[in-house]
Structure 1
Amino acid sequence: MLGLAASLLFVAPFTVNANPNNETLSIYNQAAQGDEDLVDVAYEQLNATLEKEGATPLTLVYLGSTETLMGRDAFLPWNKMKFVEKGLATIDKSLHLLSDFETPIHEQERIQGLPESYLTRAMAAVTYSSLPDMFNHFERGYDLFIALLAEDNFRQQHFAATSWVYRYAIEAAIRAEDMKQAKEWLAEMETQDDSNIETMTAKALVEKAVSQS
């Protein structure tokens, strides 16, 4: 029996599912910033990663976010709804899978400077909080930001890798009319690096919101 078990282990080794590569994430980032021609390219590459490597929380959250971008760019209203709702369902699968993710932070793969679980949560928060109110996911996104930015391990990550997360969180706080939280996050950013482009952008956003209040 031991020999049989050993032979089965040999022919069916344990494999770790792979996350999207840097090229795919770069294409996604350009698509998210408004390059509509790259949305379908990002979608195809993320699906290829999913089919080849299997599902990871990070692959699913980027795929779901890309599907919401397809909704953003769709011409017909019902197609906008269809793509965004599909994207939200995919992100829900990502967060469900992440809830069973037991790899310690210090052992996780770093993607774009962040442990994969932190990047997954940040992307879910950004996507949820960026959607129009009609999709009823803003509060969930804001809650994800609040939980993530309160974690000591997250705050100890390199600021060059987390600064964009803070900036999106501040945008969400302003939208939630939670200026106290926005100012607290900005103060933390300024303590970390007041010359960082994300810090300066966040400061301008807060100052504009205060002037309009």
Structure 2
Amino acid sequence: MNIKHAFKLTALTLLISGQAVMATNVIAAPSEAVISQYNLAAEGDEGKVDVVYEQLSQQIKSEGADALSMVYLGSTQTLMGRDAFMPWNKMKYTEQGLATISKGLSLLDANSIDQQVYRQGLPESVLAKAIAASTFTSLPDMFNHFERGYDIYLDLLEDETFNAQSYEATSWIYIYAIKASLRAGDVNQANLWLAEMQSQNAHHPMTLQAEALINQAA
């Protein structure tokens, strides 16, 4: 075998291996269908919570843990806490969820955007951080995660990767970030984020919703 032919075989092997890794990552990330069910659960459809929990748990068990799935699983566990009747179950599920989200965030790596799975029109790292932040900032103060969630928003919305995404995909994140800033009493930051939304699309429904939120808080 000459050197040129050996090099071609090596390159082909590396290409196939890389494609296999990428395929594994695609399988491991939660599907759009599961995320859609999660969105319904987060909006208050209690019947979807256990369904999403079982699907994500089974997927992680069979495919292995990835950052985005772990964050969604943890957020779903906090929804189980939200819907639990007994106070001790509310605490148990929510604390389990917070721990699971933290594990998910710890799995985020520095892969370039073109190596990341996209879900909901966003790279997995952006979506994972957004879901973590929205979960942390939505919980009662006694769980002591609001500041951590707000810090994630402050970093995420300044990140070049986030700002490179389409406004259609990021507009909902601005809304939740603005809600968090108003809860924190940081009206100046809320207005800065609103200004950024207006610069991207002043007539977008999410932009108008953000304006209404800030006006109500004034």
User: TM-score, normalised to structure 2's length?
Assistant: 0.88
Deviation string 1:97-122 (CA, Å, 9 cap, x unpaired) is 11xx1310232111100000000111
Instruction: Look up the match of 1:70.
Output: 80
Deviation string 1:101-144 (CA, Å, 9 cap, x unpaired) is 13102321111000000001111100000000000000000000
| Cα deviation, residue 156, structure 1 | 1.8
Instruction: Look up the match of 1:61.
Output: 71
Matched, 1:108 2:116: yes
Matched, 1:33 2:43: yes
Instruction: Look up the match of 1:180.
Output: 188
Matched, 1:120 2:128: yes
Three-state SS of the structure 2 residue aligned to 1:166 is helix
Give the aligned CA root-mean-square deviation in angstroms.
1.5
| Cα deviation, residue 73, structure 1 | 0.2
- Of 161, 169, 172, the match for 2:177: 169
Deviation string 1:154-190 (CA, Å, 9 cap, x unpaired) is 1121000000000000000000000000000001001
| Cα deviation, residue 56, structure 1 | 0.5
Which runs of at least 4 in structure 1 moved beyond 4 Å after TM superposition?
none
The whole-number CA distance in structure 2 between the counterparts of 1:140 and 1:95 is: 12
Structure 2: 5+ residue runs without aligned partners? 1-12
Three-state SS of the structure 1 residue aligned to 2:110 is coil
Deviation string 1:61-81 (CA, Å, 9 cap, x unpaired) is 000000000000000000000
- Of 145, 149, 162, the match for 1:141: 149
Instruction: Look up the match of 1:202.
Output: 210
| Cα deviation, residue 42, structure 1 | 0.6
Instruction: Look up the match of 1:4.
Output: none
The whole-number CA distance in structure 2 between the counterparts of 1:198 and 1:28 is: 20
| Cα deviation, residue 153, structure 1 | 2.3
Instruction: Look up the match of 1:3.
Output: none
What letter matches 2:127 in structure 1? L
Three-state SS of the structure 1 residue aligned to 2:107 is helix
| Cα deviation, residue 47, structure 1 | 0.8
What letter matches 1:151 in structure 2? D
Instruction: Look up the match of 1:80.
Output: 90
User: TM-score, normalised to structure 1's length?
Assistant: 0.90
Q: What is the percentage of aligned positions where both structures have the same residue?
A: 55
The whole-number CA distance in structure 1 between the counterparts of 2:141 and 2:207 is: 26
The whole-number CA distance in structure 1 between the counterparts of 2:135 and 2:195 is: 24
The whole-number CA distance in structure 2 between the counterparts of 1:196 and 1:48 is: 38
The whole-number CA distance in structure 2 between the counterparts of 1:109 and 1:60 is: 14
The whole-number CA distance in structure 1 between the counterparts of 2:51 and 2:204 is: 31
Structure 1: 5+ residue runs without aligned partners? 1-8
